[in-house]
Chains A and B, each alone.
Chain A
Amino acid sequence: MAQTKAVSTRHLPVAFKVLPILGLLFLGACFAVQAFLPPEKKDLVSWREPKEALDLAKKSGKPILYDFTAEWCGPCHALTDQVFNDKETSKLINQSFIPVRVLDRQREEGANPIEVESLQKKYHLEGFPTIVITKPDVIDVKKQVGYAGKDGTKKFIRESLIWSYSGDNPYAVKWHTLDDALTLSRQSKKPLLILCWNEKGDYARYEYLADKELMQLLKTNFVTTEFTAPTDQKSLKTDEAKQLITSLEIKRTPAMIIVPVDGSMPHFQIGESNKADNKDFLEKYLRFTTGKKAIR
């Protein structure tokens, strides 16, 4: 009679003893690759195709950021490495813009695709790299020709973002330095409005200021200044500005602070808030202090 060999319930294929060791070896290999191989170049910005970008911009209301670049252009690579591959900036770009990379192939292939050619003509391209920020329904554009360095380009992107959300920008707010703003505030008898951002600047600014009425309110009723916290006291020229910064003790950002001209207590709006809240904050302050409706 044939006997069937019963398999023990404790029978364990060798694979289950080997696999954990292989898993740990793989983890070790990953650490080794990270430690010894040069870091891989990754594009942190999610670039879109020009046509897709236009549709997305119309749908979402976000501005389009065009990066006109070329393979042979050294500063273009610096711009990509230092700005577009910077974690915080790429996050801001992905959140707040529809980014489009327009790659020039004139030197390599003798001609550019029609799409690239028409975009270069449309925005009167003068050199590489060029960043153009625009919105589908706005005629005017913001343009940076050449590489203005890491900080300069980041500043350009941030300022363009606010600009793009104030439409064709008839009431563009002038941002003064704190020293100048204090003098202007005294002279014009308008309260000082301080906007304080965090060091990383990752808060979506368009959510904070992107409203025509809000921008007009700022322009008409306040002397405006913005800076990054914590502030380097050395960058301030006057003792008055230094004293003001010390007395305000700004620990959280973003912060919107109104400093009245008569030296009374400042008014704070601290933490993330949207444009409607900010407008409400300014209007309440104006009603409270002047008893009148805000001038627009």
Chain B
Amino acid sequence: MNKTIMMMTIKQFWSRKARILIAAVFMIFPFVMDMMMRQVHHEKILSAAGSAHVVPLLVLVIGAGIIGQDVSDGILPSILSRPIERWKYVFSKWFAISSLVIGLAVITLCCHVIYAYCITSNFPTEIAATLASIVLLSFGTMSVMLLLSSLLPGAADLGVILLLCVASFVMFILEEALKIPGMSAAASNIFAVLFPSFDPGDIKSLQSLFSIEVGRYVSVVLVCLCGSIILVNQKELSYGSN
């Protein structure tokens, strides 16, 4: 891993004010959910799980164009004009954004726990499970984003993910409204690949470690991460005036 690239990646995010604003808006999401749960269901004990729901949103905002934009802006050729191995560049970018997302999501979780305690006088449930989900979702979703970004220019990776999300929603509606079988299952699988994660609480024995959810997570993360490293390694970059 290369510390300089990691710092540069984080600085890139801080220099994009619009992205910071959108990320901040998403971080308010769990509090709105809590308020709704209190108003509608009069819940006395809230769940902290809402904090994990912001992770895919944060990854989409922070990680969009993680490699594609570097290529489009001409940053990548100048970085690679130094003796930095390309896999270290990709790996550092992936780790930097994932860590940033985990940090922001943990801040949200802490505020969420305090807020839930203030309005209900009870600590929310599932704090440890939410923390684990945050870590798994961050690394998982970021690796998918990384693969798409190494394939597509600019922030087109975000467009593809949003398009797939819309397609999945349409598939859900098709099964619900027109009773077309298998649509919901296919849409769920698309979501499971785009936002890979599993419930760590389900792993209670060696056999449960070999569940489809765990297998899918491991394979998606490894294929996406190594795939993007191989793709960037094969890229022909112009070191010209760009």
- Give A residues with C-beta under 8 Å from B: 6-13, 16-17, 19-20, 22-24, 26-31, 33-34, 37, 40, 42, 59-61, 207, 274
Contact = CB atoms under 8 A, between A and B. Distances in A.
Interface string B6-37: 00000000000000000000000000000000
Contacts of A7: 83, 85
B78 interface: no
B80 A9 contact: yes
B44 A60 contact: yes
A23 B196 CA distance: 14
Contact of B205 (A19, A24, A26, A40): A40
B160 interface: no
B233 A12 contact: yes
A34 B212 contact: yes
Contacts of A31: 212, 215
A274 B218 contact: no
B86 interface: yes
A59 B44 contact: yes
19 contacts: A6-B83, A9-B80, A9-B86, A10-B85, A11-B87, A12-B87, A16-B226, A16-B229, A19-B225, A19-B226, A24-B219, A26-B219, A27-B215, A30-B215, A31-B215, A34-B210, A37-B207, A60-B45, A61-B44
B166 interface: no
Nearest to A23: B222
B211 interface: yes
Nearest to A25: B219
Contacts of A16: 87, 226, 229-230
Interface residues of B, number: 35
Contact of B215 (A12, A29, A40, A274): A29
A12 B207 contact: no
A27 B218 contact: yes
Nearest to A32: B210
Contacts of B202: 42
Q: Chain A contact residues: over half helix, strand or loop, or mixed?
A: helix
Interface string B204-226: 11011011101110111111011
B45 A59 contact: yes
Contacts of A28: 215
Contacts of A59: 44-45, 122
A7 B87 CA distance: 12
Q: Top 9 nearest A-B pairs by Cβ distance?
A: A30-B215, A23-B222, A23-B219, A33-B210, A27-B219, A27-B215, A20-B226, A20-B223, A16-B226
A22 B205 CA distance: 21
A22 B222 contact: yes
B177 interface: no
Interface of B: 40-42, 44-45, 80, 83-87, 122, 202, 204-205, 207-208, 210-212, 214-216, 218-223, 225-227, 229-230, 233
Contacts of B216: 27, 30
Contacts of B218: 23, 26-27
Which of the listed residues A6, A27, A37, A59 has the most CB atoms from chain B within 10 Å of its own CB? Answer: A27
Contacts of B225: 19
Contacts of A9: 80, 83-86
Which of the listed residues A19, A37, A42, A59 has the most CB atoms from chain B within 10 Å of its own CB? Answer: A19
A40 B83 contact: no
A24 B210 contact: no
Nearest to A37: B207
Contacts of A23: 218-223
Which of the listed residues A9, A10, A19, A59 has the most CB atoms from chain B within 10 Å of its own CB? Answer: A9
A118 B45 CA distance: 29
A37 B222 CA distance: 26
A274 B229 contact: no
Contacts of B204: 42
A96 to B, nearest CB: 12
Contact of A17 (B42, B208, B214, B226): B226
A265 B153 CA distance: 61
Nearest to B223: A20
B227 to A, nearest CB: 6
Contacts of A6: 83
B85 A11 contact: yes
Contacts of A24: 219, 223
A8 B233 CA distance: 11
A39 to B, nearest CB: 9
A20 B45 contact: no
B222 A19 contact: yes
A64 B33 CA distance: 27
Which of the listed residues A11, A26, A61 has the most CB atoms from chain B within 10 Å of its own CB? Answer: A26
B230 A17 contact: yes
A60 B40 CA distance: 16
